[in-house]
Amino acid sequence: AQKITQTQPGMFVQEKEAVTLDCTYDTSDPSYGLFWYKQPSSGEMIFLIYQGSYDQQNATEGRYSLNFQKARKSANLVISASQLGDSAMYFCAMREGQGSNDYKLSFGAGTTVTVRA
Amino acid sequence: NAGVMQNPRHLVRRRGQEARLRCSPMKGHSHVYWYRQLPEEGLKFMVYLQKENIIDESGMPKERFSAEFPKEGPSILRIQQVVRGDSAAYFCASSQAAHGTAYGYTFGSGTRLTVV
């Protein structure tokens, strides 16, 4: 079964507008972490934001915020005030467990975001 | 403080040749992870190594693939007798601790392997 599901293969957004990228996850482990990475056309993987399963508040990092709905098992990424440089592929990922076994990340298939001027 | 360095950035091999991908972790990091990204897909875990030890190779294909992280030098992912299906981007990440941190892993820029 897929651990991370990203249902939007591609999205277009107007410059300066906000965009929400969907991510749902599947785990029975009470301890897990959720990540979003950005992959521009140059190919590198850039860490954006992290949410721990026990975190009470939604994570924010600059223009990125994570809408964490634990009961629905969703961790949507919101990018506010989109810029042309935000055009990239975005991946949601999860790490399960804690301690010495929680090193493995499971990735979704990604969402391509294209920002229009 | 240099990040995770991977080389080469692009590698072209003919079917049947060997491919060697190198990864130098961040300074002070002794844990290395390799992931593979097939076209149009997310990254998939391959192997986790510490210095001179393979900790978890559950994501590695059983044949033709091997990985090492010697006491000195970079980690090497080796693919013998490459086939077209091996064409992918191979990413390396490193961490200081055995388990993950809240800030995820630092990934290298990847090696794009093309098998012709």
Per-residue pLDDT tens over the stretch A7-51: 999 999 999 999 999 999 999 988 899 999 999 998 889 999 999
pLDDT at B60 over 90: yes
Q: What is the pLDDT of residues A50-90, one digit of tens each?
A: 999 999 899 999 999 999 999 999 999 999 999 999 999 99
Nearest CA in chain B to A4: B42
Gap from A110 CA to chain B (nearest CA, Å) = 6
End-to-end CA distance of chain B: 36
Residue B19, Cα to own-chain centre: how many angstroms? 12
A37, A45, A68, A111, best to mutate vs chain B, most B CBs in 10 Å: A45
Interchain CB contact of A64 with B (< 8 Å): no
Q: Report pLDDT for A96.
A: 83
Q: Which residues contact B49 (CB under 8 A, 6 or more apart)?
A: B31, B32, B33, B34, B55, B67, B68, B69, B75
Interchain CB contact of B2 with A (< 8 Å): no
β-pair partners for A50:
A35
Q: What angle do CA A78, B112, A46 make, to 5 degrees?
A: 25
Q: Report pLDDT for A104.
A: 86
Strand A10-14 with A111-116, pairing:
parallel
Q: Which one of A44, A95, A108 has the shortest CB-CB distance to B107?
A: A44
C-alpha A66/C-alpha B104 separation (Å) is 15
C-alpha B60/C-alpha B37 separation (Å) is 13
What percent of chain B is modeled with pLDDT above 70?
92
Question: What would the mean pLDDT of B16-37 be, rounded to a whole number?
Answer: 94
Q: Report pLDDT for B69.
A: 95
The SS3 of residue B101 is coil
Q: Which one of A50, A98, A105 has the shortest CB-CB distance to B103?
A: A50
Q: Report pLDDT for A1.
A: 65
Q: Report pLDDT for B99.
A: 59
CB contact under 8 A, A43 and B112: yes
Q: Which one of A4, A42, A95 has the shortest CB-CB distance to B100?
A: A95
C-alpha A34/C-alpha A53 separation (Å) is 8
Helix-then-strand count for chain B, H and E? 0, 11
What band does B97 get if pLDDT is binned at 50, 70 and 90? confident
